[in-house]
Amino acid sequence: MNAPQEYQPQETLTFDNRFTRELPADPEIGNTRRQVTRACYSRVQPTQVAQPQLVAYAREVAEELGLSRAFCESDDFPHIFSGNRVLDSMDPYAMCYGGHQFGNWAGQLGDGRAINLGEIVGPTGKHWVVQLKGAGPTPYSRSADGLAVLRSSIREFLCSEAMYHLGVPTTRALSLVSTGEHVVRDMFYDGNPKPEPGAVVCRVAPSFVRFGNFQIFAARGEIDVLQRLVDYTIRTDFPHLGEPSQATYLAWFEEVCRTTAQMIVHWLRVGFVHGVMNTDNMSILGLTIDYGPYGWLENYDPNWTPNTTDAAGHRYAFGKQPQIAHWNLVQLANAIYPLIEQTEPLEKALSNYVQEFESCWQSTMTHKLGLQAFKPDLDDGLITGLLEILQLAETDMTIFYRRLASLELGAKPVDQLDDATFIQPLFDAYYVPEQLTPETTTRIAAWLRRYHDRVREDGTDNETRRKRMNAVNPKYVLRNYLAQLAIDKAEQGDPSMVHDLLELLRHPYDEQPDKEAYAQKRPDWARQRPGCSMLSCSS
């Protein structure tokens, strides 16, 4: 391990602010709320905070940006990454975009509490947009204050990095800084506001451009601005597609459909529920973006949503995420239609989304079951049956797959094992053992026998199968109750569990024997507790 680089006071960050240099700006400067037309962004300044203190930072992200450990632990760091100190090379701005929220066009939305400091050029030459969330109001804040609380900021910081280490396409998080101030929030919008500790998360991505960035200009008929943004996006983030043209626009949309499908399959693979898949929360790069009322599927329920705002309609439930992503892509296709003026190729790209999703899903489920290759005649029914038995009793999805990997298949002829004995190794995955009635046990055991026969047909030994499964089925995820426990401690001034979880989630597929407590299923006290099972967009 290399010794930490010594931080020098003159250490600087290299910025190359292409977005503000190449795209049209709002002529009005300042953070006052307003409608912004014919502009991709507004220049703004972060709000000063009282006493910024570093809570945690992700060393891997710091390395991508070329930031030394000494700098990240210096007194300068929390001032810079809370917005208190704006460097000369920065060009802070908030983006203008619109979007569909819960299926309805919402008009102008924009970065209401996100301020982009600019684009850092990392050691490898890669550009990274550095964005502060919770750094004060912007022209797009509407009636809100542009601030964020520690509660939601911890959740975003930890989940951004957890998803990255799980192998899920995602934006990243560099740092979490407390502000020394309090922010009033009504967590469930039920008339019970209270002051909470404030915080700022520094988010990092190659681009934070969303579907909604394109929608707003199409909706307003500002087609020339729309074309400038599309051309800029292709040249900076999709240069492999070539110079912008009608054919390039179509190739670009096809790639967005493809990467979006891949992202959704990853969500399903690890049991992630975004919670608010509005079109303004969909990344043009196929990255998971905007960690708000997300949740991790604990007991397998395709109809579960963590978002209380979605409690009635379940629009963004776990099992509906593939269809919603497709719906959102249709809205993007509508937005860029004026540049193409052909319906058929756009429809073909949308059909390719369905095909890409199905292909990725089949491949992913093959890996989750430890098989060599997907065989439709054998595996379509096997997978359908698996998703059915996961719902027969409250089944912890994460634990189930790890226990399934541990089965010693072929040790005894399956017809010599009674049903209860056959499923006994999976017992830890069930929340309510009483739900394992004789009928349920028989159905689960019948599927296990079918799986046993499929593995034998596959010719895969137990050790190989186990390695395959444990490489894609995590042992550790950011369980909702773990995040809440970390929040409870941090709000009392103890960030130790934030650090512990950050370290744990760097290796989600490893056994980590001394961390077994973090792999346990949700305790009963967390079943209905706010923050553990119920979340809102409040932050």
Catalytically annotated residues: 280
Side chain identity at residue 110, one-letter code: G
CA separation for the pair 410, 424 (Å, rounded):
16
In whole angstroms, what separates CA 350 from the centre of its chain? 22
Strand partners, 293: none
CA separation for the pair 244, 252 (Å, rounded):
9
Strand partners, 98: 108
Helix (H) / strand (E) element for 57: namely strand 53-57
Number of Cβ atoms within 10 Å of the Cβ of 387: 12
Contacts of 249 (CB under 8 A, 6+ apart): 230, 234, 336, 339, 340
Helix (H) / strand (E) element for 251: namely helix 246-270
CA separation for the pair 127, 13 (Å, rounded):
12
Report which DSSP code applies to 437.
Answer: -
Token reading at 404 = 């399934």
CA separation for the pair 529, 457 (Å, rounded):
45
What is the rounded (10 degree) CA torsion for 157, 163, 165, 170? -90
CA separation for the pair 22, 154 (Å, rounded):
34
Helix (H) / strand (E) element for 331: namely helix 321-340
In whole angstroms, what separates CA 211 from the centre of its chain? 16
Strands 194-205 and 127-133: antiparallel
Token reading at 247 = 């054919």
3-state secondary structure string across 457-481: HHCCCHHHHHHHHHCCCCCCCCCHH
